[in-house]
Structure 1
Amino acid sequence: MYGCSLYLFFLLIGMEYLDARRKPYNVGKVIFGLVLIALCVFVLKQSPGFGDNSVFSRREPGVTHVLVTGGAGYIGSHAALRLLKDNYRVTIVDNLSRGNMGAVKVLQELFPQPGRLQFIFADLGDQKSVNKIFAENAFDAVMHFAAVAYVGESTMEPLRYYHNITSNTLLVLEAMAFHGVKTLIYSSTCATYGEPEKMPITEATPQFPINPYGKAKKMAEDIILDFSKRTDMAVMILRYFNVIGSDPEGRLGEAPRPELREHGRISGACFDAALGVISGLKVKGTDYPTADGTCIRDYIDVTDLVDAHVKAFNKAEPGKVGIYNVGTGRGRSVKEFVDACKKATGIDIKIEYLNRRPGDYAEVYSDPTKINKELNWTAQYTDLKESLSIAWRWQKSHPHGYGANQI
């Protein structure tokens, strides 16, 4: 609209100018018109979203602008919520292949004030888009969550995982370097360790990933670490264990797409079985060398995980790299988890036992000593039934995820 009006205005003034060449007494009109043009351009530049004048494109004293990649996803949306509550300026970039626009809309409704939150639909695999985003926004830091993240799916589509995780991280890192963004909080995984000989897992445990998901994440870590040796970038790498739970106030939850349910988290499968979306829960693997034959995992509540990100961000130092396991330090078997889920939902979920899932491992749990000591972080939501009860409340009130805003 502005462009069309301005075009017509220039056309009229041009006609006046040509007429003025024939009529000298019209020079005053031309001068007046030029003044109006200057005024019009000034007003346009002050309007929201014009050129580089967007609040997101400039730095302001006391305001920290964080790019949250994958911020429409389960973990990313919870992280964006925490950052917004803590008065950070947030830009979410997501291609919505795994994330939910509904989560973004919830955040937009909670924080409608100008300059608080913006959403950019983009694919981090598109180098031009990534560079454009960094060129047009003044980021102080990046929290990089965006990634496909299912172990089973990674064994079936390995190339997709290497491209989405490793290549996309490289593009983000290159854009950060070129545009002078100096802080990176990287979302990694305990899958980079593979199946260690000793438990619990410390940050010094050798990394021998056994599936494409873990391998792709380790490659991304290696790229970041190699680059960090030649730069003053502040880097924090957080290796997650198994994430569960949801926002305690019921604003956000986990809503995977229906076609991805078979690859999703066990909590989602438990809730689907409790809601009757699926006939029962399929437990894959009962012959592992564990006490009850099922896998043992370290289940970390998403609220605690997000808190670890904020503490890592606050402790990030230029020229230094911090690597931390984010877990409770306690392993729980799948059977224990299912029992807790039955209690949280109040439903006697039907269980079907199947063969092992490709690329899985028997036992994984963390030693959180380092993150406890260096970041003063300790998991608070350690009651499995409580975390599942909170998540179940959201699931019951959102049986179809974010509904019309799911995509």
Structure 2
Amino acid sequence: MAKKILVTGGAGYIGSHVVKLLDEKGFEPVIVDNLSAGHRDAVLAGDLFVEDLRDKEIIDKLFDAEEPLAVMHFAAYIVVPESVSDPLKYYENNLSATINLLQIAAKHKVSAFIFSSSAAVYGIPQEVPIPEDHPVLPINPYGQSKAVVEQMLSDCAKAYGLPYVSLRYFNAAGADPSGMIGEAHDPETHLIPLLLQTALGKRLKFFLYGTDYDTPDGTCIRDFIHVNDLAQVHLLALEHLLNGGKSLVLNCGYGHGYSVKEVLEETERVTGQKIPYEVKDRRPGDPPVLVARTDKAREILGFKPEFDDLSLIIETAWHWEKNRRY
């Protein structure tokens, strides 16, 4: 019998890629998504339950019926500026939904809990590359909501024996090479899809925020990780816990970065299109450089990236963006 894995937010960008990989690896994904940001067509395997995690009674009944072995928790609001303008929306959803899920997971004694966290928990980095033991000092409600959940996971592991891995994403990018699933946020706020949509003429121009940072070309540097490599880390983390491994907090990146200008120029090369852009003032809270230390994921989980190449990341995203299914 296939091992059932409950995937919250499995109709979203990263969740849908993890669902596809779970199915390929012989697991049976059970997806819970309220479709407020996810897409029904992004779910390529498993059963989709259109429910809200804030409805505790329904989620508890779902656990009774499906008896999942483990939980992968992606469901959250993710737009940083919106979290600043409407913090209670983020605390209400990202925290109350997770409290429900943790209570139910502990009650049903699941064997593993994989949490979708973020480099936003670090705030403005004090050292780069950023190690996992860097102080947790978020500077916005989105990052704060992730940091609070990490603390809850630590407390639940001690109190209820709930094993967990918290994965701190840097910049997820790219799309599955099949072209079946990819990035489809509304509104879109991420660098590569914004550039690609401008290349396609869906946007008049791209806005480049800040060219006076203390970096070689004056623009921010970010650590981009292909979404399929990110999905691989989730599977490795799941197997780590199912094999009796200890709870962990891990960075998810490649350990090196690219500047906004470098990404823009490479996107022009891949697409063959000149991308019009306008320079704007810096956005508040944008650190000059965000790059992960990634040795722990490689050493503990045996993570071996397959897509660690900016051209490949952009090419897969371009293939998706030109032929979007949803």
TM > 0.5 fold call: yes
Q: Please state which band the TM-score falls in when normalised by the shorter chain.
A: over 0.9
Return the match for 2:86 from 150, 157, 160.
Answer: 157
- Say which is worse superposed, 355-364 or 68-77, in terms of deviation: 355-364
Q: Which runs of 5+ in 2 are unaligned?
A: none
Aligned-partner Cα distance in 2 for 1:152–1:66: 32
Could you report, residue by residue, the CA deviation over 1:364-403 in whole angstroms, capped at 9, with x for unpaired residues?
A: 10111111111110322111111101110111112xx51x
Q: Does 1:68 align with 2:7?
A: yes
Return the match for 1:95 from 34, 46, 58.
Answer: 34
Aligned-partner Cα distance in 1 for 2:263–2:148: 31
Aligned partner of residue 159 in structure 2, secondary structure: coil
Could you report, residue by residue, the CA deviation over 1:320-377 in whole angstroms, capped at 9, with x for unpaired residues?
A: 3111111100021111111111112111100111122243222110111111111110
Return the match for 2:232 from 297, 301, 307.
Answer: 307
Aligned partner of residue 288 in structure 1, secondary structure: coil
Q: Which residue of 2 aligns with 1:375?
A: 301
Aligned-partner Cα distance in 2 for 1:129–1:162: 21
Give runs of aligned pairs for residues 294-333 of structure 1, distance below 5 A.
294-316=219-241, 318=244, 320-333=246-259
Return the match for 2:65 from 128, 136, 142.
Answer: 136
Q: Does 1:243 align with 2:172?
A: yes
Query: Offset of 1:127 from its aligned partner?
Result: 1.8
Query: Offset of 1:290 from its aligned partner?
Result: 2.1
- What is the Cα-based RMSD across aligned positions, in Å? 1.4
Give runs of aligned pairs for residues 264-275 of structure 1, distance below 5 A.
264-275=189-200
Aligned partner of residue 159 in structure 1, secondary structure: helix
Could you report, residue by residue, the CA deviation over 1:243-269 in whole angstroms, capped at 9, with x for unpaired residues?
A: 101101222111122xx13xx211111
Q: Which residue of 2 aligns with 1:38?
A: none
Q: Which residue of 1 aligns with 2:114?
A: 185
Could you report, residue by residue, the CA deviation over 1:101-142 in whole angstroms, capped at 9, with x for unpaired residues?
A: 1112xx15xxxxxxxx11100111222222222222210000
Aligned-partner Cα distance in 1 for 2:294–2:95: 26
Does the 8 Å CA contact 2:125/2:287 hold for their aligned counterparts?
no
Query: Offset of 1:241 from its aligned partner?
Result: 0.6
Aligned partner of residue 229 in structure 1, secondary structure: helix
Query: Offset of 1:161 from its aligned partner?
Result: 1.2
Aligned-partner Cα distance in 2 for 1:391–1:64: 31
Give the number of aligned pairs.
325
Larger of the two Rg values belongs to structure: 1
Aligned-partner Cα distance in 2 for 1:157–1:358: 16
Query: Offset of 1:148 from its aligned partner?
Result: 1.1
Q: Which residue of 2 aligns with 1:12?
A: none
Aligned-partner Cα distance in 2 for 1:270–1:349: 7
Query: Offset of 1:319 from its aligned partner?
Result: 8.0
Does the 8 Å CA contact 2:179/2:323 hold for their aligned counterparts?
no
Q: Which residue of 1 aligns with 2:270?
A: 344
Instruction: Specify the code of the residue in structure 1 equivalent to 2:302.
Output: N
Q: Does 1:84 align with 2:84?
A: no
Could you report, residue by residue, the CA deviation over 1:201-234 in whole angstroms, capped at 9, with x for unpaired residues?
A: 1111111111111111000100111111122222
Q: Which residue of 2 aligns with 1:46?
A: none
Q: Choose between structure 1 and 2: higher helix proportion.
A: 1
Query: Offset of 1:318 from its aligned partner?
Result: 4.9
- By relative contact order (CA 8 Å, sep 6+), the higher-ranking structure is 2
Identity %: 40
Q: Which residue of 2 aligns with 1:14?
A: none
Return the match for 2:135 from 193, 198, 206.
Answer: 206
Give runs of aligned pairs for residues 42-61 of structure 1, distance below 5 A.
60=1
Aligned partner of residue 154 in structure 1, secondary structure: helix
Q: Which runs of 5+ in 1 are unaligned?
A: 1-59, 109-116, 403-407
In the superposition, the TM-score normalised over structure 1's length comes to 0.77
Q: Which residue of 1 aligns with 2:163?
A: 234
Aligned partner of residue 160 in structure 2, secondary structure: coil
